[in-house]
Amino acid sequence: MTTQKKSLLLCAVLFVSLFALMAGSALAAPAVTLKFAGQSPADHPASVLMNEIAKEVADKTKGRIEVKVYPANQLGDYTLVYEELIKGTIDLSCTSVPSQFDPRLELVYINGFVKGYGDVKKVFAPTGWLFKKMDELNTRLGVKLGGFFIEGMIGTATTKPATKPLDPSVKKGVLIRVPNMDVYKLAADAMGYRTVTIPYADVYQALQTGVAEGVNGFSVVAAYTMLRDVIKHWYMTNYSLECLNYMISGKTWAKLAPADQKILQEAINHAAAKSIVMAKQSDDKYMQLMRDKGIKVYTYSEKELVPIAKASASTWPMLEKKMTKELIDEFRKELAPK
């Protein structure tokens, strides 16, 4: 074979190889790309599980469906993201659920219906009443609920001891900051605390200067990472919990084939269940870090927490004007502490 023929043959082989590579790449390109919006930092457990959902969907569809993860409010804050879910311009989210379209969506933030992770597994299960009701409320707005991301239980941090923290009938002698939501203020009042509303970003300075003497509405992780240099006591009262929502645009869901809907839902179910395990581990880890820091940590059994849960539940009728009597009656029937 002449040198010229060898060169031509080599070129032909290279051309065929390049064509095959390009064809293979084209075949491997995703047929569907879904935008997945998150509000937590990239290294936060919520974002980690978002990426796990994306990987599971890609693996089970052999790359046919790509889920692109956008953490840290890259696609806007949770209120804007929800609007885009309604429009179908964002496909998925792991975010807080806003209530500007329907105040009843604050249902998930009501205090006093879980006392520990045993309750959480049952109450937040995809077969549970709370999931079905939140899905119903979201569906009316064009958004499907996929599941819940559980970040951790909420307690009370103080700069001085609270008097008889498990007895709601006793005034605690502590002025605590609460989030600007009725569900938190009413519950804190019922537990015997005096309350003040302070912006989230100003809590550290408020504790440092004595404007407030404690805080409600913080998970263990948030209390340790943000307030560890000013708080002296942590009461793990589990009267509420930090919870984000896995949500799917109704328009996106309708476009997916039933088999693909199943794959996506299973991936979300796996992440939701894993989040509960991770939350318990995170709570334990950060309470130990509190102890190491010299903060006094008080933990209780679910039975010991019943009085606090019942005190919080006693405030639920006050939410009827905002959330409707029908919904609160149903909520009480299903989830009132026993």
- Whole-number pLDDT of residue 13: 43
Residue 110 confidence (pLDDT): 94
Q: Which residue has the tokens 């997916």?
A: 256
Amino acid occupying residue 138 = N
φ/ψ of residue 214, rounded to 5: 180, 175
Note the pLDDT of residue 179. Answer: 87
DSSP letter for each residue of 215-242: EEEEEHHHHHHHHTTT--EEEEEEEEEE
For residues 318 and 338, give the distance between their C-alpha atoms in angstroms, rounded to a whole number. Answer: 20
- As a whole number of angstroms, the distance between CA 303 and CA 317 comes to 24
Which band of pLDDT confidence, cut at 50, 70 and 90, is reported for residue 29? confident
19 or 273, which is more confident?
273
Q: What is the mean pLDDT of residues 290-310?
A: 96
CA–CA dist 212, 108 (Å, integer): 27
Pairwise CA distance, residues 186 & 36, whole Å:
35
User: Is residue 113 pLDDT above 90, yes or no?
Assistant: yes
- Strand 92-95 to 233-249 pairing: antiparallel
Task: Find tokens 């006392």 and name the residue.
Answer: 115
Helix, strand, coil percentages (3-state) for the chain, rounded to 5, are 50, 20, 30
Is the predicted pLDDT of residue 190 greater than 80, yes or no?
Answer: yes
**CA torsion, ordered 299, 316, 121, 43, to nearest 10 deg:** -70
Residue 11: C-alpha distances to residues 1, 2, 18, 25, 109 (Å):
15, 14, 10, 21, 67
Mean of per-residue pLDDT scores for the chain: 92
> Is residue 19 over pLDDT 50?
no
Among 61, 60, 84, 225, CA closest to 70:
84
The domain spans of the chain are: 31-335
Beta strands in the chain (DSSP E): 32-38, 65-70, 92-95, 143-158, 175-178, 194-197, 214-219, 233-249, 296-298
Closest alpha carbon to 252 in 87, 73, 53: 87
Report whether pLDDT(1) > 80: no
The answer, yes or no, to whether residue 251 has pLDDT greater than 60, is yes
Span 120-147, pLDDT tens digits:
999 999 999 999 999 999 999 999 999 9
Which of 186, 207, 199, 167 minimizes the C-alpha distance to 320? 186
Please say if the pLDDT value at position 119 is more than 50.
yes
CA 120 – CA 107 distance, rounded (Å): 15
pLDDT of the residue at 28? 55
Average the pLDDT over each of 5-19, 251-265, 321-335 and give the range with the smallest value: 5-19
Q: Which residues contact 224 (CB under 8 A, 6 or more apart)?
A: 286, 289, 290, 293
Burial status of residue 12 (CB atoms within 10 A of its CB: 0-12, 13-18, 19 or more): exposed
Distance CA 323, CA 34 (A): 33
Instruction: Look at the domain 31-335 and name its fold.
Output: D-Maltodextrin-Binding Protein; domain 2 (3.40.190)
**Closest CA relative to residue 93, chosen from 82, 104, 105:** 82
Read off the pLDDT of each residue in 217-246 and give the average, rounded to a whole number: 94
Question: 282, 224, 248, 222: which is closest to 94 by C-alpha?
Answer: 248
Residues 6+ away with beta carbon under 8 Å from 267 = 52, 53, 56, 57, 60
The confidence score (pLDDT) of residue 79 equals: 93
